[in-house]
Amino acid sequence: MSFVPSRFALSRRGFIGSAAVLSAAPMAARAASGETAAPVPVNPLVKQRADAQVFRHDDGYYYLTGSVPEYDRLVLRRSKTLAGLTTAEEAVLWRHEKSGPMSGFLWAPELHQIDGKWIMYFAAGPSGGGEDVFRIRTYAIVCDGADPMTGKWSVLGEFQAPWDSFNLDSTSFVHKGIRYFAWAQREPGIETNSNLYIAPLKTPLTLAAKPARLTVPTLDWEVRGYKVAEAPAVLHRNGRLFMTYSASATDARYCLGLLTADENADIMDPKSWTKSPRPVFKTCKETSVYGPGHNSFTVDEQGRDVLVYHGRDYEAIQGDPLFNPDRHTRVQRLYYAADGAPDFGVPVGNGPLPERFISVANPQALLAHDGTHLLGGNPTLAQTQFRQTPGRAGKESLMLSPILLPDHYLVAKKDGSVTLEKDSNSADFALRSQFVRLEDKAQGQLRFAAISTPGKALGLADGQIRLVRSRDAAAYWRAD
């Protein structure tokens, strides 16, 4: 790695006159209007935790549970920040039994507080080998106290499913004061691995009504390897209920589907739910995330929606993907299209979470790229997401890289143009790829000053991304 010649080593004097305060370490979260910054999560957030559920409880803590590779225990992590889950202590709440129906695989736990009690739902099967280990049913354990990390957990019982058949991946949510249960189950007479069902709950393990079958895997992207609709997760936003689910085999073909219902519809009527004809989230070779799925939803420290999911960072798997340990927990911002529907974009790949940069002077335009050409616009979400990585000209320097071209960086050329280039290991690249983030927290604005060209910053002017005078209106961006 080449370093910037000392004559260009960053000094505050180089930016004298800027009213903005130099940003905190580039890796600190971008806080708007003075909110306390939280560390920026780095993907993978938690290694080898599949089927992750992350939620921010009203105690202000984030909780994470998920399947462990051994499928032998139910675990829970807690952290004040989303990023803190990476290194948070992990408690083992319960281990599979020595024999009987819960002595084998433990899959996809979810933690819910129901009528003041902490209840963890999970799928479990017997041990002993053969096909019997896939005699998977849904169970729950319950905590005897207010703190799920330290309380004593015991078996509450088995979910009274409508059929005695393979069922798993349950979730629970409240809508219009009614608590619902959604889960995946194989229904006698339907030749699929699993379909999605919903019903109001009478008690934590019994239904208050006959379930509604919301979707059966029939589309080509739902039946690759196995005919699967599983892992429902519900988000209520913009007057609608959005229910994601996972489809196909758990290898690189695993992906997310989406059902949408109006918030005032009868959500027990399958006709109230519209299925997306295409997957909304799937493998992305450009960012090296394969088989993204089994998601949940949470919010970041600024209350912005976050998608939680698992995915591998390689495609080829030896043996049964179900026993490959590298489905890591990942998170990323969830954005919305103009019509209020979620825009899942692509899985953003390993590294610090990316951001989008909206031109203050022209808010319809974001920093974007088309291949190696930088532009001002809003082509697709993925083309507007850029990752900040530590720079090479002092601790406040940084480099900017698009998630779809993770080996390319913004480079400020001598003629004032800004391009996307691979690291050529030249002193010129090392100098011209270095920027400093100048945040004006009060205004919620920022600039990227070019270290190679004092007095100039990254700007959108006349439709072009280029260097402009650092105090020009074109130099100001809003991070989102």
Could you list the residues that contact ligand AHR (CB under 6 A)?
50-51, 67, 107-108, 123, 168-169, 230-231, 246, 250, 294, 322
CB of 293 vs ligand AHR, minimal distance in Å: 7
Residue 309 near residue 294 (C-beta atoms within 8 A):
yes
Torsion of CA 13, 18, 24, 28, to 10 degrees: -130
CB of 193 vs ligand AHR, minimal distance in Å: 8
Separation of first and last alpha carbons in the chain: 30
CB of 269 vs ligand AHR, minimal distance in Å: 26
Q: Which is nearer to ligand AHR, 105 or 153 (CB)?
A: 105
Nearest to 178 by CA among 236, 258, 230: 236
Look up residue 178 and give its two tokens: 């009614």
CB of 177 vs ligand AHR, minimal distance in Å: 29
Catalytic residue among 110, 222, 230, 355: 230
CB of 73 vs ligand AHR, minimal distance in Å: 14
| Cis before 279 (ω within 30) | no
CB of 9 vs ligand AHR, minimal distance in Å: 49
Catalytic residue among 51, 110, 222, 251: 51
Task: Tell me the backbone φ, ψ of residue 51, rounded to 5 degrees.
Answer: 55, 35
Kindly state the DSSP code that residue 186 receives in the 8-state scheme.
P
Nearest to 346 by CA among 285, 420, 259: 285
Q: Residues 6 or more apart from 383 whose CB is under 8 A from it?
A: 368, 369, 370, 402, 404
Q: Which is nearer to ligand AHR, 107 or 386 (CB)?
A: 107
**Strand runs labelled E in 208-272:** 212-215, 229-237, 240-247, 255-262
**How would you label 12-27 residue by residue, b for 16+ Cβ within 10 Å and e otherwise?**
eeebeebebeebeebe
Look up residue 343 and give its two tokens: 């825009």
CB of 159 vs ligand AHR, minimal distance in Å: 14
Q: Which is nearer to ligand AHR, 214 or 366 (CB)?
A: 214
CA 202 → CA 133, 205, 306, 331, 338, distances in Å?
29, 8, 30, 33, 38
| Catalytic-residue membership of 230 | yes
256: Cα separation from own chain's centroid: 12
CB of 328 vs ligand AHR, minimal distance in Å: 13
Nearest to 192 by CA among 223, 214, 158: 223
d(CA 57, CA 48): 23
417: Cα separation from own chain's centroid: 34
Kindly state the DSSP code that residue 244 receives in the 8-state scheme.
E
| Catalytic-residue membership of 263 | no
CB of 231 vs ligand AHR, minimal distance in Å: 4
Q: Which is nearer to ligand AHR, 250 or 470 (CB)?
A: 250
Task: Compute the Cα dihedral for 20, 24, 27, 33 and give only its sign.
Answer: negative
Q: Which is nearer to ligand AHR, 132 or 144 (CB)?
A: 132
Q: Which is nearer to ligand AHR, 310 or 356 (CB)?
A: 310
Q: Which is nearer to ligand AHR, 245 or 476 (CB)?
A: 245
Strand partners, 119: 112, 142
CA 7 → CA 4, 11, 18, 22, 26, distances in Å?
8, 10, 21, 20, 22
Q: Which is nearer to ligand AHR, 228 or 446 (CB)?
A: 228
Kindly state the DSSP code that residue 172 receives in the 8-state scheme.
E
Kindly state the DSSP code that residue 429 receives in the 8-state scheme.
H
Q: Which is nearer to ligand AHR, 126 or 406 (CB)?
A: 126
Q: Which residues are catalytic?
A: 51, 230
